[in-house]
Amino acid sequence: IGRVVHVTILAPHRLNKGTRPSWFFEKDQNGGIITDLGSHQVEQFLAYSGGRSIRVMHSTLANYANGDKKNFHDYGDGSLVADNGATCYFRVDWFTPDGLGAWGDGRVFIIGTEGTIEIRKYIDIASSPDGDHVYVADRTGEHKYEVTGKVGFVFFGKFIRDCLDGTETAISQEHTFEAMRATLAAQAQAEVVST
C-alpha cells in the first residue's frame, strides 16, 4: 500500500462489570484505560507505521456509563504522530454490547500512498462470527482475505524464545519502551471530559 500515512485503530471491549474485581475500577491500580487497552493500539501504530518514536498530540478520557465508579474511565482516545510523519487516531472503550458475538469489534484502518487496508480483527458484524478478515484496496483492485488459521501466532513463539535466549527477534526493547512511553504520556496528559 506504499508509505503508511495514517492508521485508525478502534478497540472496544466488553465490560462484564459484575465479574470484575474492585481493583479493576481503580485507576491507581489498573493504570487507566489508555494504559490498559490503549497500550496495544499505540504499539500497533508504531509497528504499522514503521516509526521509531511517537508524539502524543491529544488524548481524552471519560466516564460515560459508570458513574458509580468514580476512579474509572470507560472511554479513551488519542491522536499520535510518528517521527516519520505518519498519524494515528485510536479509540478504546468498554461499550461492546451484549448482543455482539465477540468481546469487541476491533478494527484497524491503514491508509497508504498507494492503497488501504482494513482489518476486522474479531468478528465481521452480521456477516461472519469469525475474525481475521483483511480487506485491501490497491492499484490492482479490491481484495478480501480470510486469514483465520493461516498464519498462526508467530510473535508468541518468537517472544518466548527471546525470553529464554535473551534475544530481540519478536520485538525490540527500544520499540517496546517507546510504545509504553507514548502510552503513559497519553494517559497522563489526557483531557478528562466532564460527563
Question: Could you tell me which of 84, 89, 35 has the C-alpha nearest to residue 57?
Answer: 89
What pLDDT is stored for residue 128 in this prediction?
79
What pLDDT is stored for residue 160 in this prediction?
95
pLDDT cut 90: percent of the chain above it: 89
What pLDDT is stored for residue 154 in this prediction?
86
- Would you mind telling me the total number of residues written for the chain in this entry? 195
DSSP string, 88-142: EEEEEES---TTSSSS---EEEEEETTEEEEEE-S-BTTTBS---EEEEEETTEE
- Per-residue CA distances from 6 to 35, 62, 125, 145, 183 (Å): 22, 25, 24, 21, 18
Q: What is the average per-residue pLDDT within 28-41?
A: 97
Q: What is the average per-residue pLDDT within 175-180?
A: 98
Q: What is the average per-residue pLDDT within 104-131?
A: 93
pLDDT cut 70: percent of the chain above it: 100
4-192 maps to CATH 3.90.1140.10: no
- Cβ-contact 91, 44 below 8 angstroms: no
- Per-residue CA distances from 47 to 82, 83, 118, 154 (Å): 11, 13, 15, 15
Distance of CA 131 to the CA centre of its chain: 15
Average pLDDT along the chain? 96
Q: What is the average per-residue pLDDT within 132-140?
A: 96
Say if residue 152's pLDDT is above 80: no
Report domain extents, the chain: 4-192
CA dihedral defined by 117, 119, 125, 129, rounded to 10 degrees? 140
Q: What is the model's pTM?
A: 0.94
Q: What is the average per-residue pLDDT within 132-157?
A: 91
Say if residue 151's pLDDT is above 80: no
What pLDDT is stored for residue 143 in this prediction?
98
Determine the Cα–Cα distance for residues 34 and 76; give it in Å rounded to an integer: 6
